[in-house]
Homo-oligomer: A and B are copies of this chain.
Amino acid sequence: MRKKVTLKQIAKELDVSISTVSKSLRDSPEISEDTRQKVQAFAKLYNYKPNLIALSLKNKKTKTIGVIIPEIVHHFFATVISGIEHVANEHGYNVIVTLSDESFDKEVINMEMLANGSIDGFIMSLSKETQHKKDFHHITEVINQGMPVVMFDRVTNDILCDKVIIDDNLAAYEAVRDLIDKGFKKIALITTVDYVSVGKLRTDGYIKALKTNNIAVDPKLILKIEDIDICEHQIEELINTNEIDAVFAVNELFAVTAIKAAKKINLKVPEDISVIGFTDGIISKYSSPSITTVSQNGIKMGGKAAKMLIERLESEEEEDEHYKTEVIETHLVVRESTPTL
């Protein structure tokens, strides 16, 4: 077992000082051609690589980005991580991923853990519980310490920082308008409870689309789901007990569950009932019929967030205080769950 070699060991072996070794490896003009080559050859032979922890301590930079997301077994968040990771890698950064499991406490713990020197900045999406409690002290704390934070998707206006979002309201509006344009009148909405920021925005977009097209908003057609694991029964009831033309669902799972419910009572999709979902994930693509959906490019979102964070990290401490909110464009991916006209 050959342990990693350090400057000190090289110095001892070659009978020079540590600084000489360090300078040789960094091609300092202070060092003679002779010793430089000797040191470099030796270092290469022993496969010397500087210890990143020591560098982090010295430079007060870890070249590492901390990510906190609610869940990773979730296609959208996985794509975001993928986007973050790629951009981060291109710039020589590593990525530490932690999961809040939608829990406020875990979010706080992970944040405090990472804030103690392990990372240079955060990219995060709020947990449900945090959005519910509206308690963001852990985040402001970190920002006050001078550590940049970029929020994505589930964000809040209560915090000043860079953000990357999609226009949830507009995207929902356009999706519902598309249904209206196709002649549907009785359009149901399957959404989340209101404290989930993106759910609320999409709900608002749905309502706006109906109103601007002079369609009455029927509360019976709006289903707000608290726990995604037990949504099946509620969705079936919604579809069974109402005459519905079309369904707009704020995520993939609600959409595919709606389709299953419709099939169960022998309604054909899209002939008898149309469905539009949100988030272009695996389910929408491989469901049958495949699902028309609002695409929300997670890779782009993660990439953008990483880019913003790295730019801020490397802007020489300018402390802009001028925070930006980037909006990633969305578009409707038309598939089989809506009629082709």
Contacts and interface: CB of A to CB of B under 8 A. Distances in A.
Given A73-B78, A82-B72, A286-B287, A96 B94 contact: yes
A145 B3 contact: yes
Interface stretch (A153-161, A189-197, A255-263): A255-263
B113 A94 contact: yes
B56 A53 contact: yes
Complex copy number for this chain:
2
A96 B4 CA distance: 21
Q: Which of A82, A86, A112, A116 has the most CB of B within 10 A?
A: A116
Interface in A226-265: 253, 256-257, 259-260, 263
B288 A288 contact: yes
B117 A54 contact: yes
Interface string A80-99: 01100110010000111111
A1 B53 contact: no
Contact of A82 (B3, B73, B141): B73
A49 B71 CA distance: 27
A323 to B, nearest CB: 15
A79 interface: yes
A49 B144 contact: no
Interface of A: 1-4, 47, 49-54, 56-57, 62, 64, 71-75, 78-79, 81-82, 85-86, 89, 94-99, 110, 112-118, 141, 144-146, 253, 256-257, 259-260, 263, 282-283, 286-288
The 10 tightest CB contacts between A and B, nearest first, are A53-B117, A51-B117, A52-B117, A97-B97, A256-B286, A49-B116, A52-B116, A73-B78, A53-B56, A1-B146
